[in-house]
Amino acid sequence: MSSLFCDFHIHSCLSPCADDEMTPANIAAMAMLNGLSAAALTDHNTCKNCPPFFYHAEKFGIIPIAGMELTTSEDVHIVCLFRSLSGALCFDEYVSSKRPNYKNNPDIFGHQYLMNDNDEIAGEEEHLLLNAADISIDEAFYSVKNYGGICFPAHIDRQSNGIVAVLGDFPSQPAFTAFELNDNTSETEYKTRFPLLSRLVKIVSSDAHRLENIKQADFSINIPLPGGSNQNSALNKANMIIDYISGLI
């Protein structure tokens, strides 16, 4: 078994609320400096900066996971992680068709920069990415699965867009196999309130919107890793991470 330090919830400069310095190259570099083995890019309602993130993660020796933080129709934040970049980009197209087409006002909400492999601004997403998509929590679980991914409720210990705060409860028969805490010290409180959480995989992530908030090496998962260091190997490792979160290993 190998112990991997991870951060599965990071926003790039494509999220309007994230710092412009959160470029894919800077995120991958910071993940390496912090001693992480794997990192997921999870912008609000989009996966479009995942391709340059994969490019830079490979250079810095980080296992990249393509992801998204979906805002469901209930206004609950759900972290979606995909086995492949192509699966994530197909899901991105699906979510694009379910998002309201309100124009972003960068002066109010912030810029939404699309980046290229040179870590340069390649364009800007014109529609505001913060609004809820027309996808319910239950629909999200099964559609993410259809695109080769796994999803789980984000920061259940936070008031803002956390599933417990929004719904007033944690689903009693969740399809989810995992849940995310923003603050690891709230584990006992939430497991006492919702005993079924003890049967789910606990993920602790940074929800970083600034470089200095990306996780240090303090949350790890244990998985049996395949050997090798080529790109196939990174894909295999990403798949094993998704299997772990799915409760399969």
Pick 154 or 241: Cβ nearer Zn ion: 154
CB 17 within 8 A of CB 109: yes
Does residue 83 belong to the site contacting Zn ion (CB under 5 A)?
A: no
Does residue 207 belong to the site contacting Zn ion (CB under 5 A)?
A: yes
Does residue 157 belong to the site contacting Zn ion (CB under 5 A)?
A: no
Does residue 99 belong to the site contacting Zn ion (CB under 5 A)?
A: no
Pick 27 or 154: Cβ nearer Zn ion: 154
Region near Zn ion per CB under 5 A, out of 28-36, 158-166, 189-197, 225-233? 158-166
Q: Provide the minimum distance between the beta carbon of 1 and Zn ion in the complex, in angstroms, as a whole number.
A: 29
CB 74 within 8 A of CB 44: no
Q: How far apart are CA 134 and CA 73, in angstroms?
A: 5
x/- letters, 30..69, toward Zn ion (CB under 5 A) = ---------------------------------------x
- Determine how many CB atoms are found less than 10 A away from the CB of residue 108: 8
| Residue 92 Cα to chain centre, angstroms | 13
Helix boundaries (H) for 112-230: 137-146, 163-167, 187-193
Pick 156 or 223: Cβ nearer Zn ion: 156
Pick 75 or 169: Cβ nearer Zn ion: 75
Q: Provide the minimum distance between the beta carbon of 160 and Zn ion in the complex, in angstroms, as a whole number.
A: 7
Phi, psi of 57 (to 5 degrees): -60, -40
Pick 133 or 234: Cβ nearer Zn ion: 133
- Residues 166-200 as b/e (b if ≥16 CB within 10 A, e otherwise) read beeebeeebebbbbbbbeeeeeeebeeebeebeeb
Which residues contact Zn ion (rule: CB under 5 A)? 69, 77, 154, 161, 207
